[in-house]
């Protein structure tokens, strides 16, 4: 079905009010079957599909529509959703198969790894690794194992975005990215040095020590404890300013389906990473936007967090547009300050993010810069150019 609107039109979100309300209902674990038919009667179907695609919740939309009377959904919409879900399922199967190939290769090289987000999160949050879309695989690997892991990935046919020469030079990217251009497979390796949006260094040894196994397609995948995964996805959502509904839906689904979450341990995990405000922001968004119930004691703490309240208020201004009405440069800086909180901690956090160079700062046309001082100076100017624009590229 041809799209009738450019995605850029999403910046005028006032015209998508009915479709937005429909998506919120579909993404919420607190379903209201009486409300859905009334919402359906008001939606513009092409706009609804466009908005669902931008927010990454095509699977949520399809799941809710499948529960309805067949006559309530136009045939062309059913066909479109069927094709999109088919492509999503195929991609999930390819990525899951590749995941276990990578894990097997790492095991042969004695490289410990833990799967984060992706199929493991989808399984724990929704009970189905194909329920949500994801374009890459993310693994946690200790920095001391990165060189060996890179050699293993290259030997198996992947291209490394961060060359061995950069690793040997001590350069730290935003992630160690590997790709197979012919198949469009992407794998990202992360650790406590690359995950720089953690207010404090990620307690990677604690994460490894608390890891569990999640069953995927008759295999066992090493995964974070649910409490640590919850903290991680709240930090990931904040990193991206919570611009897409799927990130809130993941938090809502995880805490709904994993009913045995140890909330005291979750708080301790967030505290160790300096991410209390970020956890509370994610939980409050799940509660306020998607009507998820959280334990009374936890809810009281979440709603008493003034920094989290300010972050939620900011998110709600740009969330419906799905990234097409992004925060400006000043709003981004203010958001980062509030992410950390504290008179001294917040400016220090913003300065660290602003002056910690990634591969975009020290690598150009395949050449790795050898001047660390210039890398540091280059970063704030690049960020100003990149985020000084008013709309999404």
> Residue 33: what pLDDT?
76
Residue with tokens 């198969």: 97
User: What whole-number distance in Å separates Cα of residue 393 and Cα of residue 384?
Assistant: 15
> Residue 4: what pLDDT?
43
> Residue 6: what pLDDT?
53
Cα separation values, 302 from 81, 226, 375, Å: 37, 19, 39
From the number of C-beta atoms within 10 Å of its C-beta (0-12, 13-18, 19+), residue 92 rates as: buried
For 254-293, the DSSP string reads: HHHH-TT--HHHHHHHHHHTT-HHHHHHHHHHHHHHH---
User: What whole-number distance in Å separates Cα of residue 55 and Cα of residue 67?
Assistant: 21
Would you tell me how many other CB atoms lie within 10 Å of the CB of residue 304? Answer: 10
User: What whole-number distance in Å separates Cα of residue 87 and Cα of residue 98?
Assistant: 17
Contacts of 299 (CB under 8 A, 6+ apart): 287
Closest CA to 285 of 258, 246, 322: 246
User: What whole-number distance in Å separates Cα of residue 232 and Cα of residue 81?
Assistant: 30
User: What whole-number distance in Å separates Cα of residue 119 and Cα of residue 250?
Assistant: 12
> Residue 75: what pLDDT?
87
Question: Any idea what the Cα angle at residue 343 is, between residues 342 and 346, rounded to 5°?
Answer: 60
Residue 103 — φ and ψ, nearest 5°? -60, -40
Residue with tokens 């927010």: 55
> Residue 257: what pLDDT?
96
Cα separation values, 100 from 159, 178, 315, Å: 18, 15, 36
From first to last of the 393 residues of the chain, give the pLDDT tens digit. 434 445 555 556 666 888 999 999 999 998 887 888 888 888 999 889 989 999 999 999 998 888 776 667 888 888 899 899 999 999 999 999 999 999 999 999 999 999 999 999 999 999 988 888 888 999 999 999 999 999 999 999 999 999 999 999 999 999 999 999 887 889 999 999 999 999 999 999 999 999 999 999 889 999 999 999 999 999 999 999 999 999 999 999 999 999 999 999 999 999 999 999 999 999 999 999 999 999 999 999 999 999 999 999 999 999 998 888 888 888 999 999 989 887 678 888 888 888 888 888 878 777 788 777 788 888 888 888 777 654 444
From the number of C-beta atoms within 10 Å of its C-beta (0-12, 13-18, 19+), residue 267 rates as: middle
User: For the whole model, what pTM was predicted?
Assistant: 0.91
Q: Which two tokens stand for residue 27?
A: 């993404």
Secondary structure element (H or E) that encloses residue 101, with its range: helix 75-108
Q: Could you tell me if 125 and 253 are in contact, meaning their C-beta atoms sit under 8 angstroms apart?
A: yes
Q: Which two tokens stand for residue 126?
A: 């929704």
Question: Any idea what the Cα angle at residue 126 is, between residues 2 and 59, rounded to 5°?
Answer: 5
User: What whole-number distance in Å separates Cα of residue 390 and Cα of residue 386?
Assistant: 10
DSSP β-ladder status, 185-190 and 137-140: parallel
Kindly state the DSSP code that residue 324 receives in the 8-state scheme.
S
End-to-end CA distance of the chain: 24
Cα separation values, 297 from 58, 257, 264, 304, Å: 34, 19, 11, 11
Q: Could you tell me if 103 and 111 are in contact, meaning their C-beta atoms sit under 8 angstroms apart?
A: no
Strands in 153-225 per DSSP E = 159-160, 176-180, 185-190, 212-216, 219-223
Give residue 3's Cα distance to chain centre.
26
């Amino acid at each position: 079905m041809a799209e009738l609107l450019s995605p850029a039109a999403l910046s005028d979100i006032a015209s998508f009010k009915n479709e937005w309300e429909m998506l919120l209902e579909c993404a919420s674990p607190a379903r209201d079957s009486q409300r859905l038919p009334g919402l359906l009667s008001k939606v513009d179907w092409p706009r609804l599909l466009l908005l669902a695609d931008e927010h990454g919740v095509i699977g949520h939309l399809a799941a809710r529509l499948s529960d309805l009377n067949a006559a309530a959904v136009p045939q062309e919409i059913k066909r479109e959703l069927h094709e999109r879900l088919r492509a999503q399922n195929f991609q999930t199967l390819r990525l899951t198969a590749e995941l276990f190939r990578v894990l097997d290769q790492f095991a042969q090289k004695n490289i410990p790894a833990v799967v984060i987000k992706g199929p493991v999160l989808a399984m724990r949050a929704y009970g189905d690794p194909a329920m949500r879309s994801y374009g890459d695989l993310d693994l946690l690997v200790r920095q001391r194992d990165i060189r060996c892991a890179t050699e293993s990935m290259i030997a198996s046919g992947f291209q490394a975005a961060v060359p061995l020469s950069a690793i040997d030079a001590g350069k730290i990217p935003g992630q160690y990215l590997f790709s197979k251009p012919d198949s469009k497979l992407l794998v990202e390796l992360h650790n406590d040095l690359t995950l720089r949006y953690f207010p404090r260094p990620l307690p990677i040894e604690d994460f490894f020590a608390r890891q569990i196994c999640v069953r995927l397609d008759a295999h066992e995948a090493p995964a974070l404890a649910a409490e640590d995964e919850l903290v991680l996805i709240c930090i990931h959502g904040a990193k991206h300013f919570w611009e897409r509904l799927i990130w809130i839906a993941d938090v809502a689904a995880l805490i709904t389906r994993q009913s045995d979450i140890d909330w005291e341990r979750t708080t301790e995990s967030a505290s160790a990473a300096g991410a209390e405000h970020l956890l509370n922001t994610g939980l409050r968004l799940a509660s306020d936007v998607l009507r998820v119930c959280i334990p009374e004691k936890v809810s009281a703490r979440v709603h008493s967090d003034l920094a989290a309240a300010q972050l939620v208020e900011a998110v709600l201004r740009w969330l419906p547009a799905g990234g097409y009405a992004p925060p400006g440069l000043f709003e981004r800086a203010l958001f980062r300050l509030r992410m950390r909180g504290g008179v001294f901690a917040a400016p220090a956090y913003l300065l660290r993010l602003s002056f910690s160079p990634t591969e975009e700062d020290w690598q150009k046309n395949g050449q790795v810069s050898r001047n660390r001082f210039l890398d540091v100076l280059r970063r704030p100017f690049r960020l100003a150019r990149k985020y000084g624009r008013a709309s999404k590229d």
